[in-house]
Amino acid sequence: MRIAVIACDMIKHEIARLIEGDPDITEVVYLEAALHIYPEKMRDALVEQIDALEGKVDAVFLGYGYCQSLKDIDKLVKVPTVLPPYDDCIMFMLTPERYSKEIEHEVGTWFMSPGWAEVGAHMVIKELKLDRAAKYGRDPMEMAKRLFTHYKRGLFFNTGMPADELEPYREKAKRFCSDFSLEFEETEVVDSPILREELDRCKRLAARLTEGVD
């Protein structure tokens, strides 16, 4: 079978580890993390990417959550597509149970995987749509800090990255917490089963569709 993976650049580390050496994966595309800030544009971009794979693969696995606009995207595209049924990538990297537990511990938690730590304050400014503030003589970073006061804790979680590779991302997470006056905490999430389960679901779909096809 031929499976394409289209994923957010934010989880490229986790996706790369998931599909390493997998002979069924024939196409891999990472799209920029900031796409989710404009949900409808993100949906349109993904539909275009998926439709461009028609005839090249049997199914597509999306490394995304619903991200406000992707629910039922499989009904809009020409290639059979599997999307993990979760609100966002944080949810399926942590698992819903772990996510809920951490929110119960501190409702004002900002979650940071290695990918999130890598983009840091730059992504927050984009999330809050403050990147144009400088044109009006305002400091985007200072504005972001004022809008970020309801967060109390920055939780950095290792998704299985080797220790020698993890350290630069940990330092970026600490810097982010310092910039936004958050208490830094760290935990480990060793390869959430959700990504594997959803990729396997995509493979089962492709297998059903290709049965009897030479």
For residue 92, the SS3 value is: helix
pLDDT value for 35: 82
Chain centre distance of CA 126? 16
Q: Residue 214 has what pLDDT? A: 41
Q: How far apart are CA 13 and CA 34, in angstroms?
A: 17
Asked whether the beta carbons of 172 and 120 are under 8 A apart, the reply is: yes
CA dist., res. 87 & res. 22, Å (int): 27
**H or E stretch covering 111:** strand 109-112
Higher-confidence residue: 136 or 9?
A: 9
Domains of the chain: 3-87+192-210 (3.40.50), 96-188 (no CATH)
* Cα-based angle 168, 61, 154 (whole degrees, multiple of 5): 30
Percentage, residues of the chain above pLDDT 90: 65
Which of 71, 75, 69, 33 lies closest to 50 in space, CA to CA?
75
Cα dihedral: 135, 136, 141, 144 (round 10): -120
Whole-number Cα distances in Å, 115 to 41, 53, 189: 22, 26, 14
Which tops the pLDDT comparison, 162 or 34?
A: 162
pLDDT exceeds cutoff 70 at 212: no
CA distance 165 to 21: 20
Q: Is the pTM of this model over 0.75?
A: yes
Is residue 94 within 8 A of residue 111, CB to CB? The reply is: yes
Give 145-187 pLDDT, tens digit per residue. Answer: 777 888 999 999 988 888 889 999 999 999 999 988 999 999 9
